[in-house]
Structure 1
Amino acid sequence: MTRNHAEYILLAEFDVDKGASLTHQHPRPVPTDEHYLAELMLPDGAHLRENDWTIFFLNQEVPPSNLAELPYTDPDNDEDNPILYVLNLVQTRHDREARRGATVKAMAICTRHRFLDQYKHILFLALENYFTSPSIEVLANLYDAVNSMDLTYMPKLSNHEKLILRFAETNNMFEEKFIEADVAEITGLQENMRMSRVGSSQSELEAEARKRHRRKTYIDLSSGQRKDNITSKNKDRHFYETEVFYQSIKISVKIPLTIYREEVGEFFMNKLITTFANGQVSAPRPLHPHLDSGSPQPHPLILLINALLTQKRIIFLGHGRPSGEVANYVLAACALGSGSGGVLRGFTNRAFPYTNLTSLDQLLEFPGFIAGVTNPAFEEHPQWWDVLCNINTGKIIVSPLLANPALAAAPLQDLRKSIEVTHVKSLTSSSSSSGAKKDAQVERYGTVDAEFIMDLMAAIGKHYGELTIRTKIQNYIRRFVLLCALYEYQTTGSTDIGYTPQSFEAHPHPSGHSPSASFTSQLGFGLAFSDGEAKLRELALNKGRIEGFIGTISYEYLRRDTQAFLEHRTIRAFDVEHQLVKLRDGRHYLADDEVETVFRAFADAVTTEAQVIELLSHLPQNEGGLAPLAFGLLHASPQIRYLAVRILNRIHQDRTGSRFIRSLNVFFRCAYDAQRLQFATSTNVNTTPGGNSTGSGSGSGGGMAGFTAVGHPVYQSHSTTPPALATSVSGLGVTTHPTLSTSPVATTTGLTEGWNGQGPSASGYAPAPGFNHPI
């Protein structure tokens, strides 16, 4: 069932005798207490400001104590979302004739859309009209105008396509979907006009449809023909542009197509980070294993993240500040804990962007609530919260009443004992570090946490965009989830939030030549480490918050989302993310046969359009795009170069993939063109062990499946650089990527220990930039 854009329009006023009161509700009463609504619409201190925007949520349900009974909703379907997001505007008009010298009114739009800020303009105009002509007709006109917005032809993107578009550096990604939508809309307009204007000629109808959709023409230089250009070339396809008419005023609306489920409104992550990054954590305070990950003095941001992940009750206090500003801190915190909304969910379900003492009883019913308040009375009652973040001072206070968790079950003690020993060793070794600032932070906060904080603050200091900051947070939370899966697998022998060997047993090697168990062992999966001690060290630093995260609402959603992803993924034979991490990691080397195994896996497994899209969703353009695969074009091994060409050829055949190919830098483009030409024109062709045919016939490998370069005279020596590549690339000063090096180090180091003894350590804290899949 398609819902209205606006479910309700509300009007509240402050009456000197009655206090806050709900005056109008349209088109029907909201099934919520009227006094409660009026108090939220007229926040504390609103009379001190002429305008105050705020956000609050309705229809939130207290989660069941048994999480197995937690209702499951499709994360990509907003129609399943029961929460109403409320955008509220309060205005104060000073009037000498009014009692107390002012009139305070508030109007709100209740919607299930998360792009609330797009309604600000029309809501402002409606409230202005209500001050001029106070009647329920104003609410009715606003309701009709918002619901007249036509989103019928807004492109529907899959989760993988949203990921690609979110991180796309070009504005024309998935342009074809907009063209198809425009064609469908024009067809619909022509049909409507044909019904309403019987007798009009076909040419007149088409001319009017073109005019209404601003269709233009251009000259195709390749053919010299004049062609229709349905859409504007300058539109940013990260948004769907439409319009709303309110009292003859056309209001443009740009709907973001790539926001995640936990991203509500237009908050700024930078503001949350800078407010508390340089703040303090209350001292002395009780130590808590869920909050103190690897250090008794965690960085304030790390402590906040830990509190969010382990479902602690969190208050953001902004005494004397606008309620809308406080609400934005809460919305940013939801994105912070959920990995910018792209890794975890369930945070907005227990978020109260603005609340007050009137709704305290309801607030305390929710485990792990995240609330914004302006009343300083909350700070004086630590029994109401676990962590309080004071926006005015930047100080984070841990409640002295926060209880420590119960001891863990006996079967986990052996692993924990080894973790504790490793933890003590790591702290002892770090105590002898130098006095440099970076070493001090690593010693204090732990390696991964320190790198994350320093990287985050450096990006903010260099004025990087909001998307870059959110991507770094997403990668950090993603790595934590992978670590949780590893912890579960090590302690129980299985996990429901990540890959296990059983995830691949039903799916043999794509080439059909190797048993699935052997293939999985060769490629590896999950999070990887340089050695076993590094793995235990990181588990030691994170075990407290891992145990606190297991059993939370977000963990339950993650478990279900992971199982859904495992069932519907299109590349089923191996862990795509793990392989790309190995190719990205420049601090470790892979032997030639290991690199070839990875490239052959991609070449054989990525054959359909859906598989290409899934692969591209792991290769965000703003983080290098196809670079991990394109480096294979510069490898000394002709077999790896050939496999790289096969992969890129298959990607190039896809419409979206061709845009990724065009975004390659000049060095990779030269290498790709040279290698593609060299292999395509080869006349001496043999069958490879992984191939299925001779010749250069069209197969699943981008038109050269089964082709090998081993028999070609140019490639008989692996140390010989192909002439075409040498001519096009060598003179440009291209150096070989260290991961794909063929130095003696590369051939002897081999894969380092991961879950199952495979894969190098992930570079830094980011397992795969921009990645947000459940596992």
Structure 2
Amino acid sequence: MDIEYIFLAEFDIDKGSILKVQHPTVYPYDSEYSIANLMLPDGSHNCVEDTTVFFLRSKHNNPSDDADNETFYHVLNVQKQKKYEGVRRGARVKSLAIASKKPYCFSLRDLLSKALDQIFDAYDHTMYSKERRKSDDMDLSELDIQDDAKLIDNLVQTLVEHIFETCNGVKISNLPIYSDQERIFWRYALAKSKFTNYNHTTSFQYGNKVDHITLSIPLCLSENEIQYRINGITQVSLCRLVSTFKEDTMLIYNAILYQKRVIFFSSQQLAGQVVNTVLSAVAMFPEMHNLLKTRTFPYASFSNLEFLDVEGYIVGVCNPMFAYREEYYDVLVDIDKSEVKVNQSFTQVHKERKKIEKKEKKEKKKQRASKTNIMDAKHSTEPSPQEKSLFDSVLTDTLDIIDSIGHTVGVTRPKTFDDICYLTQDDLYFIKDLIELIQFKTPKSSGFEILEDLIRSKFYYYSKEIIDLAFDQEKQILYQQQIYYGTSSAHESISDNIKKALAWRATSSFKHNKKKYRSGKRQIYISPEIIDLKSCVQKLRSNILNEEELITMFQLFIKHINSREEILEFLTFFPENEGGIHPIALCTLHSSELMRLLGVSFLRKIESIDEGKLLVQNMNMFLLLGYDRGAKLYNN
């Protein structure tokens, strides 16, 4: 399982949180004190059991260093408390954690819980032996007490080493490896995790006792997703996030997108619940590169303030003092009250900055042209040749196209352009749709896991659209023309989320993502110059295509979509939550015989790969009958 470190921590009433065991070596990039405090979060002495997640990063790198080259560990931590008579405070609190560079480690949560029970049993056995000697009226010298302490330390050290070997004994070399296109298809297009979870049974043996544990290992997670279960219930849940914060979910979404400082706070719930809420919020952006690695701190305390050096951090806390330190956040997410608070001082600074920007824009307009000419340009339906050349002349840098246009023509953006509280119409439609889907649902409801997959799929395509728009120079030009001229020469409608995409372009997060997203096109195997799949999907769903256009489109599909990679890429544009391949299958019922033939022929091609065959089987009975009837005629 590629576990590289294992830690055991406990709470000492005199010393506080201490790290008892590190194996196989001492972790080089952080102090024992810091790790122990992360393993035993605020309020841990008040709960019987809790599971948390945190990350360990190398400290030798500067914040400006490339995160891809930074040492980054996922850490799964299980903490328990057990009551003892005669012990100060009446209980012992211990935590066991494993660190790995791969997110598979979170599947070992149940194994870690069993192992921690065995560690408590080791302490119980030693204490029982000590009490028995007392009851037999045997004198316990200081030397005997030291020997007992040394004995139990050696016993626990051996047990921790055994746990480490057991965790690494879980072999994942035989797990299927998915390509990026396959991962997107299974995780988001089909959106059924039952097809992408690998169940593996392992055993944990200590002495004569053997526990058999079933591990569920997710195979198609994005780089910003973490998934683990407790009692069969998914802990990192977008359904619960939306159910808790309703429309305010989009305020959290905006704050993360615009790289603001976000703190998730709760003083009444377990640290594990705070951690899960943070990780759920990050999961709204499955394809935003390095969001988890660079900006996310699932849990922090006043002894771990390293996140303050990170721009746009996302952090979870349990200490109420964070809620009163407004200089620490732009947005405070109060989990206890299900509220999202935007920092008032941030709002004032935002307004002052907007005033300065507005003044600068006015000065640029005066230098560029007279007021009369500007008004004429705005009300003109047809720009002059000189104005057209103005737009053409700035098409020099694909990635910075919109910034060039903004500086060249002095386009004034809306006042609330990058305001966290400003929700576009697309935002409102999107979140209302999700709220309707999940109302009256609980984690124990039947079909909750299927609904969770559906919500994740919807967030994937929603976030992907914004990322695509940020790199789509054509849409940006059309939008700027609408602002500058008051209209667009094209008839193509532009998503309201173009505003969010442009606001994201102004962040350093966008600059970091340039390296990965060199273009906004999701097409890798199918040339967009031959087939623009996004445009084709919109046309197929619009139901306004005439027969000639439809025939031309399907002829292109049949001619240029042939290999497995091309078919799979095509299918990722037809997610099940938006109807799947329904528009394709509907063509098998077309009034035109040629169109029916083309529809059947292309469905046959889709069915030639396993993923396509599954989608065809999922079609409704009416479409299946139409396809079967057409297939028989096609064979003849």
Q: TM-score, normalised by structure 2?
A: 0.74
Q: Is the 8 A contact 2:581 2:615 kept in 1?
A: yes
Secondary structure of the corresponding residue to residue 254 of structure 1: strand
Return the match for 1:577 from 527, 534, 544: 534
Q: Is the 8 A contact 1:264 1:331 kept in 2?
A: yes
Secondary structure of the corresponding residue to residue 525 of structure 2: coil
Offset at 1:159? 1.7
Computed over aligned residues only, the root mean square deviation of the Cα atoms, in angstroms, reads 3.4
Offset at 1:612? 1.7
Return the match for 2:222 from 244, 260, 269: 260
Return the match for 1:91 from 77, 80, 93: 80
Query: Which AA in structure 2 matches 1:346?
Result: L
Secondary structure of the corresponding residue to residue 51 of structure 2: strand
The aligned length equals 522
Query: Which AA in structure 1 matches 2:427?
Result: D
Equivalent position of 2:384 in the other structure: none
Return the match for 2:585 from 612, 630, 643: 630
The alpha-carbon distance between structure 1 residues 70 and 547, as it changes in their structure 2 partners (threshold 3 A), is farther
Equivalent position of 1:6 in the other structure: 3
Q: Is the 8 A contact 1:72 1:557 kept in 2?
A: no
Distance in 2 of aligned mates of 1:373 and 1:567: 37
Offset at 1:359? 1.2
Aligned ranges for residues 226-241 of structure 1 at < 5 Å?
Answer: 236-241=194-199
What does the per-residue CA deviation read over 1:422-461, in whole Å, with 9 as the maximum and x for residues that have no partner? x99xxxxxxxxxxxxxxxxxxx954322211210110011
Offset at 1:26? 0.8
Q: Is the 8 A contact 1:62 1:366 kept in 2?
A: no
Offset at 1:58? 0.6
Return the match for 1:48 from 22, 43, 46: 46
Offset at 1:45? 1.0
Return the match for 1:472 from 439, 458, 461: 458
Secondary structure of the corresponding residue to residue 347 of structure 1: helix
Aligned ranges for residues 680-695 of structure 1 at < 5 Å?
Answer: 680-681=635-636
Equivalent position of 2:470 in the other structure: 484
Q: Is the 8 A contact 1:346 1:557 kept in 2?
A: no
Range that drifts further, 107-116 or 160-169? 160-169
The alpha-carbon distance between structure 1 residues 149 and 450, as it changes in their structure 2 partners (threshold 3 A), is same
The alpha-carbon distance between structure 1 residues 560 and 63, as it changes in their structure 2 partners (threshold 3 A), is farther
Query: Which AA in structure 2 matches 1:470?
Result: R
The alpha-carbon distance between structure 1 residues 63 and 535, as it changes in their structure 2 partners (threshold 3 A), is farther
Distance in 2 of aligned mates of 1:303 and 1:386: 11
The alpha-carbon distance between structure 1 residues 559 and 462, as it changes in their structure 2 partners (threshold 3 A), is farther
Offset at 1:46? 0.8
Q: Does structure 1 residue 312 correspond to structure 2 residue 263?
A: no
Q: Does structure 1 residue 606 correspond to structure 2 residue 606?
A: no
Offset at 1:619? 2.8
Return the match for 2:66 from 66, 70, 79: 70
Distance in 2 of aligned mates of 1:419 and 1:386: 22
Equivalent position of 2:19 in the other structure: 22
Return the match for 1:327 from 252, 262, 275: 275
Q: Is the 8 A contact 2:189 2:457 kept in 1?
A: no
Return the match for 1:349 from 294, 297, 300: 294
Query: Which AA in structure 2 matches 1:159?
Result: D
Aligned ranges for residues 511-550 of structure 1 at < 5 Å?
Answer: 535=493, 538=495, 543=499, 545-550=500-505
Distance in 1 of aligned mates of 2:504 and 2:522: 24
Q: Does structure 1 residue 450 correspond to structure 2 residue 428?
A: yes
What does the per-residue CA deviation read over 1:634-675, in whole Å, with 9 as the maximum and x for residues that have no partner? 222333223222211222333433333333322222222333
Q: Does structure 1 residue 383 correspond to structure 2 residue 327?
A: yes
Offset at 1:9? 1.0
Distance in 2 of aligned mates of 1:163 and 1:558: 18
Equivalent position of 1:275 in the other structure: 244
Percent identity over the alignment?
28
The alpha-carbon distance between structure 1 residues 534 and 420, as it changes in their structure 2 partners (threshold 3 A), is farther
What does the per-residue CA deviation read over 1:253-290, in whole Å, with 9 as the maximum and x for residues that have no partner? 1211222211113311122222222xxxxxxxxxxxxx
Distance in 1 of aligned mates of 2:436 and 2:522: 39
The alpha-carbon distance between structure 1 residues 563 and 130, as it changes in their structure 2 partners (threshold 3 A), is same
Distance in 1 of aligned mates of 2:188 and 2:339: 34
Secondary structure of the corresponding residue to residue 311 of structure 1: coil
Secondary structure of the corresponding residue to residue 515 of structure 2: helix
Q: TM-score, normalised by structure 1?
A: 0.62
Q: Is the 8 A contact 1:272 1:333 kept in 2?
A: yes
Distance in 2 of aligned mates of 1:272 and 1:567: 28
Q: Is the 8 A contact 1:60 1:350 kept in 2?
A: no
Range that drifts further, 402-411 or 20-29? 402-411
Equivalent position of 1:517 in the other structure: none
The alpha-carbon distance between structure 1 residues 166 and 531, as it changes in their structure 2 partners (threshold 3 A), is farther
Q: Is the 8 A contact 1:316 1:371 kept in 2?
A: yes
Q: Is the 8 A contact 1:45 1:320 kept in 2?
A: no
Q: Is the 8 A contact 2:184 2:572 kept in 1?
A: yes
Equivalent position of 1:639 in the other structure: 594
Q: Does structure 1 residue 393 correspond to structure 2 residue 334?
A: no
Q: Does structure 1 residue 370 correspond to structure 2 residue 314?
A: yes
Distance in 2 of aligned mates of 1:57 and 1:306: 24
Query: Which AA in structure 1 matches 2:337?
Result: T
What does the per-residue CA deviation read over 1:281-304, in whole Å, with 9 as the maximum and x for residues that have no partner? xxxxxxxxxxxxxxxxxx522221
What does the per-residue CA deviation read over 1:484-514, in whole Å, with 9 as the maximum and x for residues that have no partner? 23468635999xxxxxxxxxxxxxxxxxxxx
Query: Which AA in structure 2 matches 1:304?
Result: I
What does the per-residue CA deviation read over 1:312-340, in whole Å, with 9 as the maximum and x for residues that have no partner? 1100010132110100110011012x1xx
Distance in 2 of aligned mates of 1:618 and 1:330: 29
Return the match for 1:245 from 175, 196, 203: 203
Offset at 1:344? 5.3
Structure 2 gap ranges (5+): 123-151, 228-234, 362-402, 442-447, 481-486
Structure 1 gap ranges (5+): 74-80, 174-235, 278-298, 425-443, 495-528, 682-775
Distance in 1 of aligned mates of 2:12 and 2:423: 52
Query: Which AA in structure 2 matches 1:28?
Result: T
Q: Is the 8 A contact 1:412 1:491 kept in 2?
A: no
Offset at 1:112? 2.7
Secondary structure of the corresponding residue to residue 249 of structure 2: helix
Q: Is the 8 A contact 2:189 2:572 kept in 1?
A: no
Q: Is the 8 A contact 1:62 1:365 kept in 2?
A: no
Q: Is the 8 A contact 2:469 2:475 kept in 1?
A: no
Aligned ranges for residues 639-718 of structure 1 at < 5 Å?
Answer: 639-681=594-636
Return the match for 2:303 from 354, 358, 374: 358
What does the per-residue CA deviation read over 1:681-718, in whole Å, with 9 as the maximum and x for residues that have no partner? 3xxxxxxxxxxxxxxxxxxxxxxxxxxxxxxxxxxxxx
Aligned ranges for residues 395-434 of structure 1 at < 5 Å?
Answer: 395-402=339-346, 403-404=349-350, 407=357, 411-412=405-406, 417=411
Offset at 1:384? 1.2
Distance in 2 of aligned mates of 1:312 and 1:420: 19
Equivalent position of 2:372 in the other structure: none
Query: Which AA in structure 1 matches 2:557?
Result: F
Distance in 1 of aligned mates of 2:304 and 2:67: 24
Distance in 1 of aligned mates of 2:48 and 2:270: 11
